[in-house]
Amino acid sequence: MSGVVVLAFRILMAAAVYIFLGLALWMIWQDLKQEGRKASLRVFPAIRLEVRARNRVVVSKTFSKPEIILGRNPACDIPINDETASAQHAKLSYHHNQWWLEDLNSTNGTKLNREKLSLPTVLTSDDEIQCGKTKVTVIMNDTMPGSPEP
Amino acid sequence: MSRNIFEFFRIGRSASSIDQRQSRLLLLAALFLFLDSVILTLSPAVREQTWNVSYRWSQWIGYAIWAALFFLADRFTRKQLPDRDPLLLPLASLLSGWGILTIWRLDPAYGIRQAIWLTVSLAALAAILYYLPSDLAPLRRYKYILLTGGLIITGLTLLLGTNPEGYGPRLWLGCCGVYLQPSEPLKLLLVVYLSAYLGDRLLIRQRFFPLLFPTIFVTGIALLLLLVQRDLGTASIFVLIYTVILYMATGKRRVLLATALMLALAGVVGYFFVDVVHERIGAWLDPWADPSGHSYQIVQSLLAIANGGMIGRGPGLGSPALVPVAHSDFIFTAVAEETGLLGTTALIIVFCLILARGLRIAFRAPDQFRRILAAGLCAYLGIQTLLIIDGNLRLVPLTGVTLPFVSYGGSSLLTAFIAIGLLLMISSQPDEMPALLTAPGSYYFVMGVLGVGIIATLFANSWWAVLRGPDLLNRTDNPRLAISDRYVPRGAILDRNNQPIDVTEGQSSAYHRVYLYPDLAPVTGYIHPTYGQAGLEASLDKTLRGLQGNPASLIWWDHLLYGTPPAGLDVRLSLDLELQKRADQSLGDHKGAVILMNAQTGEILVMASHPTYNPNKLDEIGASLAQDQNTPLVNRAAQGMYASGSALQPFAYGLKTAQQVIALFENLGFYTPPQIRLPVAGAMQSGELKNLRISPLQMIVAEGTLSAHGLRTAPRIVLAVNTSQQGWVILPALGQSIQALDTATADRIANELAIQNQPFWEWAGAGNTGPDFSTWYLEGTLPDWKGTPLVAVVLLEENSPALAKDIGVQLLKAAITP
């Protein structure tokens, strides 16, 4: 008889430890979901890029997504019609509360304010990016809230 | 009610959700440990299978201390670190509470010390949370002072070291009953130093080796100290922690490669030149070679895990104390035996979750120093956990380190809780962005290795607990059988008239075997915790223990509830105690054997073997018995092989060629051991004639043919088993009866040997091999005898035919007189 009573307690005890684990895993799952929500709701400042050719603005586009690719490939966010630019030339990305410029191993390199870029670098407004021979000006407006691109 | 449960599991998104999560998990941990304590209290009742026992209460002190401490810790962390990780504290609390209760169950004296150390550890945790600034700057600034201090204190053990047990390696510093093992906190200081150093230096581009010089230097000193102390387990942990931190921080694979080569080299050198390493690696490679010596611990550990099986024997219901140092190095084994694979899997998952949360904290850390620190603390916890659990499971060689949070040991507990304190501090950084992690590959690699290690551990655990378990438990060096014999009555051995021969007396927890007719000892044998089993007690063991003859469901149920077999079954022998006493009296001090058998049914009525011994006194005489020149342990009637000499002449009379004689002897069973539920000697090879040696049992089976018209009956010594459901169930003879001689020949031989005016035939013979003389006297009823056909054999290890005849005639006469 004592064996049966204790067996019942043993089953309860095993249930208790597995409920503990289940609850802990449930919390971790909730954390993951929250991370996802945070990522999807993240707000970042809009950025406008102006492409110039022979000192004339050819393209001007405003972005509100966290990653922008510049390159000769027409599928790029900013297509650059220039033989000295690589297909995927440079990347702008928003993280750590900053816009960052990064060269994508382009053949002729990327220059920021006439200096050759080797490491990801923080951008500020009115910076001049040079991909091959094409120059792109960065214009930031801090008060513009992010909204999905049409 | 259902609404409350729903509320309980709902995780709010408010600011207090961290507090809620922590308290809910702590409550569940408290419930789990409460149930554990309840079972420990009730466990004596289960063991002795009665409610009338003295219950186990003292572990409630440990539970109360645990509950009070974590209630306070919950309150304190709420106030001090509102944004901490809510899972870490409950996970650590579950492990430490589980540890305290397990240690308490093994030895309350250690339990109370562990409870005191838990108090100290949580006080240390509180101090860290209270005094350290959230960026942990003092650790970073004073890294050299801290590490040097740690090294000096560890170095002091070389001069002032002691061991709380009074023997063994002197790795502790202590006074007035309080001992500290400085190598435990030294691990932590090494992690702090490495993360502070690398966190500062990695930003500056520097060549790889100049960068490493200072770390190699201080780690080298620590290693040297540990090697001098022969604390090899901790030394290997130091090397591994150093490697993993360096690899995670720099991302250079060659660090791993170099360490792997170095450890392999150290292992090989150690195997050939250092005794401890040689023993440990030898015990790991082949534990079954020396199960009572160097690999005693690991074999006992595997036996305990096997005994736990799937769901364990229940807290307080296993025998984990059989494994040496179960409270420390082998605490995992103790948990495995009492909660089974189910419990150890939960335990391993809890460690996994601590590591997962720790690495998450590392990824979210706001600067390099704190990231490397958090990852390093995870490395320390993960490596040490895997090393000792896998050591217990024989996946890696045994290293004498503790299981963090769970094992007994103040220094280990303190170190683990300081690590948790630091992780909590690093996790509580609400507004800071995580530092940039340029190359996360090394972190993923380390996580992958830990993951593979954990999966391998779970597989090894299932292998020993479930797949190999049943085989292991049948090993003769499994002491659990002897323990269950004290709690479960063993079946009695009765004679053919239900007169008790061997019975079990006493009450649960103190059952012991009593041998009411000790002269039968060479036949019935004994069962003893030290000397094992012999004779019928050995050959009928499964039945007497209730493992055979009981329904499988009952055996399964009793094993589930009590971890023991059901009550044993009584066995009835064919022996007749009245005749047996007569044979024993007449044989007296002479060395020899007497058997009386029913030639028709094969039932053995008397089986005497002298000299005999008193199995009731096995405790005192056991050791000397095996060395006794007169070999009283041998059952001469079935296990003694004697020169047949002239004793077989009547059978072979008239046969012309050797082939004919061999064919006859084959029929009479001289070349095959008799099939009977009794240990017997092996027979000689077919074809042996001149130097043929046979046992008295073979002889009586053969001479039975003369009294039973040539029929060779299969001998029986066990008649029936008293089963719980069907009452007495007959056990048939193991062998087949065959017509060994044709009826005419058998009757003719018997009549030629007839004694005048008596219903018996007789034959006396003698054989000798060298100085050993054997006198045979064979006798039986004549073929036309109307009563039960009986045959007797007397064998004496001396030359005295008159005495042999006297014994035989008296016995047979007594047997046929009603």
The one-letter code for the residue type at B218 is V
* Predicted local confidence at residue B818, as pLDDT: 67
ipTM exceeding cut-off 0.90 for this assembly: no
Look at A2 and B346 and tell me if their CB atoms are within 8 Å: no
Q: Where are the beta strands (DSSP E) in B58-104?
A: none
Look at A13 and B45 and tell me if their CB atoms are within 8 Å: no
Which of 81-110 (A) contact B at CB < 8 A? 96-97
Q: Which residues contact B667 (CB under 8 A, 6 or more apart)?
A: B712, B738, B740, B741
> What's the farthest any 2 CA atoms get from each other in chain A?
96
Q: Report yes or no: A122 at the B interface, CB cutoff 8 Å.
A: no
Determine how β-strand B173-175 pairs with β-strand A47-53.
unpaired
Q: Report yes or no: B314 at the A interface, CB cutoff 8 Å.
A: yes
Distance, in Å, from the CA atom of B504 to the CA atom of B511, rounded to the nearest integer, reads: 6
* Predicted local confidence at residue B629, as pLDDT: 86
* Predicted local confidence at residue B166, as pLDDT: 66
pLDDT, tens only, B181-194: 888 889 999 999 99
From the list A2, A18, A21, which residue is nearest B51 (CB)? A2
Burial B768-794 (b: 16+ CB within 10 A, else e): eeeeebbbbbbbbbbbebeeebbbbbb
Contact between B777 and B786 (Cβ < 8 Å): no
Distance, in Å, from the CA atom of B347 to the CA atom of A11, rounded to the nearest integer, reads: 16
Strands, sheet with A47-53, edge to edge from the N-terminal-most edge strand: A56-63, A47-53, A134-140, A128-131, A110-112, A115-116
Closest chain A CA to residue B40: A6
* Predicted local confidence at residue B87, as pLDDT: 94
Distance, in Å, from the CA atom of B317 to the CA atom of B503, rounded to the nearest integer, reads: 26
Look at B43 and A6 and tell me if their CB atoms are within 8 Å: yes
Which of 200-219 (B) contact A at CB < 8 A? none
Q: Which residues contact B75 (CB under 8 A, 6 or more apart)?
A: none
Look at B562 and A3 and tell me if their CB atoms are within 8 Å: yes
Look at A28 and B9 and tell me if their CB atoms are within 8 Å: no
* Predicted local confidence at residue B175, as pLDDT: 63
From the list B11, B339, B560, which residue is nearest A27 (CB)? B11
From the list B39, B49, B50, which residue is nearest A10 (CB)? B39
Q: What is the DSSP secondary structure assignment for residue B648, as one 8-state letter? A: G
B29 vs chain A: nearest CA distance in angstroms?
A: 7
Look at A10 and B311 and tell me if their CB atoms are within 8 Å: yes
The structure tokens listed for B773 are 């003389």
The structure tokens listed for B452 are 């593979």
Cα–Cα distances in angstroms (integers) from residue B476 to residues B119, B217, B639, in the given order:
43, 51, 22
Residue to test with chain A: of B8, B39, B40, B556, most A Cβ within 10 A: B39
The three state secondary structure string of B659-708 is HHHHHHHHHHCCCCCCCCCCCCCCCCCCCCCCCCEECHHHHHHHHHHHHC
- CB-CB neighbors (< 8 A) of B560 in chain A: 7
Residues of chain B predicted below pLDDT 50? 1-2, 6, 10-15
Q: Residue B28: which of A19, A26, A8 has the closest Cα?
A: A19
Q: Report yes or no: B349 at the A interface, CB cutoff 8 Å.
A: yes
Once rounded to an integer, what is the mean pLDDT over residues A90-105? Answer: 85
Q: Give counts: helices (H), strands (E), chain A.
A: 1, 11
Cα–Cα distances in angstroms (integers) from residue B394 to residues B258, B284, B297, B344, in the given order:
25, 6, 11, 15
Contact between B390 and B455 (Cβ < 8 Å): no
A84 vs chain B: nearest CA distance in angstroms?
A: 29
Confidence of residue A145 (pLDDT cuts 50, 70, 90): very low
